Amino acid sequence: MSESDSGESTSSLSSFISRSSSSSSSRLNGNMLLKDLEMLKQVYMLADKISSIDKVLARKRMKVAFFGRTSNGKSAVINAMLHERILPSAMGHTTSCFCQVQANGDDEPEHVRIEEEEQQLDLSSLNELASAHSPRALKPRTLLYVNIPKSRCSLLDYDVVLMDTPGVDVTAQLDDCLDRYCMDADVFILVLNAESTISRVERQFFKDVSSKLSRPNLFILNNRWDVASNQEPEMEQQVKDQHMERCLKLLIEDLRVYSDEEQAKKRIYHISALEALQLRNGCKTNPNPQTQERYLEFQRFEADFANCLAESALKTKFEHHLISAQEVLTQLQTTLLKPLATKVNQLMKENVDRRRDLYVEMRDSRKEIQERTEELQMRFHEICELTIDIANRVLKEQINRIIPSAVQSFSQPFHPHLPWQIRNYQRHLSGHLDNLLTGQIQERVSMPLQRKLCELETSFHAQPVNENIHWHLIHRVDCQSLMGDFHPDLRFRFSYGTAALWHFLRGRLSLPSNYSQNRKLLNGHKESSSATPLIHQSNLQMIASLVKSDGCFGTVLLSGLAARSVGWVTMLVLGGLVASLYLYELLSWTPAAQERSFKNQYSRHLQQQLRAGVQQTASGFELQMRQQLAKIQNWWIAQAEETSHDLDLRISEVTDEIKSLKELQEKLKKFEDKGNVIAIRLAEFHDLYIKNRS
């Protein structure tokens, strides 16, 4: 599996865990969430381990990384292995940057090149760029490629890359550079100073290496052993035993690279790199026995190192990583793929059940919406009919009962002889009736309808909105406008006068009315009485004109006719009685009587005007109610649409999640198939290259 495949797989699995944790948090308990987080942590650890192994397997060259504190002689060891002084080496902190010594191409001259730069510099500039004592020294985080011909050193002919480091204690900011440049090395060489011991930084670095790479191949060189042995020759063996004990503790207990002490001792050496380089360059002749012993130790190290590269390169590079890869595959199968597949199947079942429940909920919701809509329409019709019924009943009651009593109960000074006072009286009376009738409409019509609205909305809402709670009919009675053509007649009229008798007889007898009094039908024709008149119309008109005339000629004429019929004595007695009644009524025609007459005429005229507008007013009330009911209906339609849209959205989300889960199931199946194929290939590789060579 390549690095891109492993990265893609980790990204897919991580995004799935994130989505499944967020979408199913309401359905999973806390323990399952903790398991998901632990699983995610294992995924990242496995991905990191796979990435580290992949970097090692991807390289075509064997990389050897040299570590140690400053001034431990790392560069001197490399120079001794190269048989010449190439890297800068001196007392104190010398190497300023990372130096990668490697063989160049056949046609390339020896040169140095700074990372991410194309310019090739002469090899002589190495002392200026890589030496901490030079003003042109590169920064510790920089990588410098040192390219020399293979013919110059037989070690480089094995495609070996030697990585020199500036020292793990140079700066605390080198951790990421160490990871980037050295963590993928095949062999690690820890160079210690024989005059000191292993530092905490060196120990921690190799712990990190061991956590990321399974059982790294490690050599430990106790350099400058010539200085340590010359200082106290009698204590040389005790000091060597002390160094050996601490190095064994690092290899066996701390790093767990080796379980056998004898194997671990073979990777610990006590050398002097400077003496080895001097002997090889001919600078030092006639070495003493101690120098020869240290040189032989250095040669043993080179032999073991060469044997590691030449004979065990395949095993060094692949066997441990093969074991780690098999462990990773096992962990992926047991701790990741199978639990994920189980979880995906569970989520798939839950989502399928949830989508089925949502479809059932949508069907029931649509049925309920249809039923409630029909109920709402029926309630609307009932409320509209109730509005018209209440309006007709209240308006007719106002006209027939409320207005006469309200007019008669109105009290204000009345001055019949002053026209402007009569107009003022009429205006105040109209205002009084406006307030009374409007208040009754609000109380007896608007309030019951408002309660009906609230009841209707409560049956569909959780509670009525403020708009319906404070709703009322918009209605204003304007009696003054209705009485615009009202002209009161406050003249005195005798109850038994000729005009009154004429109206009495006309009401009792079947007499034709005049042309101006004929009532028009709806089709425009005049309606006439079907009864046969007792008096001819021409004679009746003459009598009516005499009786209703303002002069006394008609009265005298009629009196003469009556005197001839009943006698003058009877006429005088009757005349006296009539005169007494006339005088009584005339004296009783006070402003109060005139006010009563004004009120009676006002009531009759207002009742006539209001009766004509009862149906129109009731229809106006119904229209207002329909407008308010339309708002409730629009709200209900919006709620129904919102409910349907919400269900559609939830079904769509569940469907998308089911689709994603199906895709994830397919990916998990592919991952499982890939894992099986890789496991088969690893087993074949182990049988072919590892097992047969062991």
Reply yes or no on whether the pLDDT at 177 is more than 70.
Answer: yes
**97-101, 462-466, 564-568, 597-601 — which is least confidently predicted?**
462-466
Q: What would you report as the CA-atom Rg of the chain, rounded to the nearest whole angstrom?
A: 60
- Reported as a single tens digit per residue, the pLDDT across 471-523 is 777 878 888 888 888 888 777 777 666 666 666 666 565 545 444 444 443 33
% of the chain exceeding 90 in pLDDT: 12
% of the chain exceeding 70 in pLDDT: 74
Reply yes or no on whether the pLDDT at 563 is more than 80.
Answer: no
Of 175, 103, 114, 180, the closest CA to residue 142 belongs to 114
Predicted pLDDT of residue 364: 92
Q: Is 359 helix (H, G, I), strand (E, B) or coil?
A: helix
> Could you give the strand order of the β-sheet that contains 62-67, starting from the edge strand earlier in sequence?
111-114, 143-148, 98-103, 160-164, 62-67, 187-193, 217-223, 268-270
Predicted pLDDT of residue 580: 81
Reply yes or no on whether the pLDDT at 27 is more than 80.
Answer: no
**294-308, 538-552, 595-609 — which is least confidently predicted?**
538-552
Cα angle 452, 455, 457; round to 5 = 110
In this prediction the pTM is 0.44
Looking at residue 132, the DSSP 8-state letter turns out to be T
- Reported as a single tens digit per residue, the pLDDT across 192-226 is 888 777 777 777 777 776 666 556 778 999 998 88
Predicted pLDDT of residue 536: 52
pLDDT band with cut points at 50, 70 and 90 for residue 4: very low
pLDDT band with cut points at 50, 70 and 90 for residue 617: confident
614 is written with which tokens? 């009862």
Reply yes or no on whether the pLDDT at 656 is more than 90.
Answer: yes
Q: What sections of 398-412 are H helices per DSSP?
A: 403-409
Reply yes or no on whether the pLDDT at 36 is more than 80.
Answer: no
Please enumerate in sequence order all residues whose Cβ is within 8 A of that of 205, keeping only pairs 6 or more positions apart, or say none: 67, 168, 178
Beta strands in 18-133 (DSSP E): 62-67, 98-103, 111-114
* Residues recorded for the chain: 694
660 is written with which tokens? 């994603």
**306-315, 427-436, 629-638 — which is least confidently predicted?**
306-315
Helices (H) and strands (E) in the chain, counts: 25, 8
- Reported as a single tens digit per residue, the pLDDT across 125-148 is 888 888 888 888 888 888 999 999
pLDDT band with cut points at 50, 70 and 90 for residue 351: very high
Quickly list DSSP for 543-596: HHHHHT-SSSHHHHHHHHHHHHHH-HHHHHHHHHHHHHHHHHHHHH--HHHHHH
What Cα–Cα distance (Å) separates residue 668 from each residue in 44, 339, 673, 676? 17, 11, 8, 12
Secondary structure of 259-279 in the HEC alphabet? CCHHHHHCCEEECCHHHHHHH
Reply yes or no on whether the pLDDT at 85 is more than 60.
Answer: yes
Q: In angstroms, rounded to a whole number, what is the distance separating the alpha carbons of residues 411 and 425? A: 10
